Each structure stands twice: as C-alpha cells, then as structure tokens.
Amino acid sequence: MSQNTAGSCLCGAVRFEVEGDFERFYLCHCARCRKDTGSAHAANLFSSSARLHWRSGQENVRSFGLPGTRHRRSFCAVCGSALPDLQMNGELLVVPAGSLDTPLALAPDAHIFTASRADWDHELQRIPSLARAPS
Ligand SMILES: [Zn+2]
Ligand SMILES: [Zn+2]
C-alpha cells in the first residue's frame, strides 16, 4: 500500500506531495551534507518509484548542483528551506525528512559517511536532552 506524504518549506510558499513509498532513509554526515544543512547531518528519504507533485509555489523552487559532483539540493528561494529534489536524471527522488508535515512511519536505515562526521558529533546521545528551550 502506498503512503501519501505532504510537506512544505518554513515560510509556506512551497507545498508538495509525494505519492508512493520511500525505499531508503539515510542520515548523511558527509562534509557536503553538513555544509548544505548547516547541521550534523542531512536526513533524506529516497525513492525510485514515488512521484512528486508540487502543490503550490513551484516557481520558488531553486536547485543547486555542486560542480564536478553528484551533490544536489533544492530549496525555497524565499526562506532557503530544503525541498525535494529529483536526481540521477529524474530517476531518484530525494526528500528531506524535515520538510514533511505528515507523519512518517519509517525510521532511518542508517547513519552514512560517519567517517566524515563533524568533530563535535560524537556520542551526542550522552548530552542532556531538554524537552524545551534551555532556561
Ligand atoms: Zn519558503
Ligand atoms: Zn552527504
């Protein structure tokens, strides 16, 4: 059974739906994903069969491919949020998990490229977890 997944960017200008299933869910710690997300890792869902439908704001979607590499990302031109991107000549749909607004019944398959993880990205499960902002 296929799941329908919906998402949007932070400012709400861009909305999309994904029709179909995801095959892989990776947390990528490579240096390019760290740069492009500004965080410890990217969190991307991958599908070779699902279809992407832009529901609003498609004119605000921009894409960037790093020259000489296969690293690509799409983002909102207004707020910069990560958005779905079609890669490998349209054969692979990559959806940033953080862009989704509907529940996701999947857990990540793996951390990948951990050999490239940030030097502060070690044993993060050991630091305090606060349910809200620090006081
Ligand atoms: Zn936006
Ligand atoms: Zn990466």
Q: What global pTM score does this model have?
A: 0.94
* Residue 16 covered by a domain: yes
Residues 42 and 73: their CA atoms lie apart, in Å, by 11
Ligand index nearest the alpha carbon of residue 114: 2
pLDDT along the chain (135 residues), means of 10: 84 98 98 97 98 98 96 97 95 98 96 97 94 94
Ligand index nearest the alpha carbon of residue 30: 2
Expressed in angstroms and rounded, the spacing between residue 122 Cα and the centre of ligand 1 is 32
Q: How many domains does the chain have?
A: 1
Residues 76 and 104: their CA atoms lie apart, in Å, by 22
* Residue 119 covered by a domain: no
Confidence (pLDDT) at 1? 47
CATH of the domain at 85: 2.170.150.70
**Which residues, chain by chain, have CB under 5 Å from ion ligand 2?**
28, 30, 33
C-alpha 79 chain-centroid distance = 15
Confidence (pLDDT) at 3? 60
HEC string for 85-130: EEECCCCEEEEEHHHECCCCCCCCCEEECHHHCCCCCCCHHHCCCC
Expressed in angstroms and rounded, the spacing between residue 5 Cα and the centre of ligand 2 is 23
Residues 73 and 61: their CA atoms lie apart, in Å, by 10
